[in-house]
């Protein structure tokens, strides 16, 4: 993969009871810290899908575009060391490279 090719991070999340037990102010502080770091590292949100009422497995699925693998690694370190995200959120991530769907099935 070329260095300038963005990396797509697909994530699946479900909030744990510990997140629900946070006060409104604590929840907002958590999300604000996360967002500030995401913005600092150059993440572009492609979409977020609310699955509540449609799936028992996940509450949200998101697609992010990242400028580099280094930025993703820095975010993952931040999520683990600062936010302690696994305490509050069940999650799964998948990395990949963007590819056009425009010509799929067309001759």
Evaluate whether residue 73 is within a structural domain. no
Integer CA distances (angstroms), 1 to 9, 22, 97, in order: 15, 41, 8
Distance CA 19, CA 26 (A): 9
Evaluate whether residue 5 is within a structural domain. no
- In the chain, the number of structural domains is 1
- pLDDT beyond 70 at 2: no
pLDDT at 1: 47
Evaluate whether residue 38 is within a structural domain. yes
Which range of residues forms the domain containing residue 88?
13-55+84-96
- pLDDT beyond 90 at 4: no
| Both tokens assigned to 85 | 């995200």
- Whether the CB-CB separation of 96 and 11 falls below 8 Å is answered with no
| Both tokens assigned to 84 | 């302690």
**Global pTM?**
0.86
Evaluate whether residue 75 is within a structural domain. no
Evaluate whether residue 24 is within a structural domain. yes
Evaluate whether residue 88 is within a structural domain. yes
Section 33-61 average pLDDT: 97
Evaluate whether residue 34 is within a structural domain. yes
Per residue in 48-104, pLDDT (tens digit) is 999 999 999 999 999 999 999 999 999 999 999 999 999 999 999 999 999 999 999
Evaluate whether residue 45 is within a structural domain. yes
pLDDT at 107: 83
DSSP state string for the chain: --TTS-EEEEEEEEE-HHHHTS-HHHHHHHHHHHHHHHHHTT-EEEEEEE-TTT-SS-SEEEEEEES-HHHHHHHHHHIIIII-HHHHEEEEEEEE-----TTTT--
């Amino acid at each position: 993969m070329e260095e300038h090719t963005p990396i797509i991070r697909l994530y699946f999340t479900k909030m744990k009871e510990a997140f629900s037990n946070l006060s409104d102010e604590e929840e907002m502080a958590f999300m604000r810290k996360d967002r500030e770091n995401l913005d600092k590292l150059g993440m572009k949100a492609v979409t977020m899908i609310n699955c509540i009422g449609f799936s028992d497995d996940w509450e949200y699925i998101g697609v992010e575009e990242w400028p580099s693998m280094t930025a993703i690694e820095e975010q993952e370190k931040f999520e683990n060391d600062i936010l302690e995200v696994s305490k509050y959120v069940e999650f799964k991530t998948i990395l990949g490279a963007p590819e056009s769907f425009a010509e799929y099935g067309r001759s």
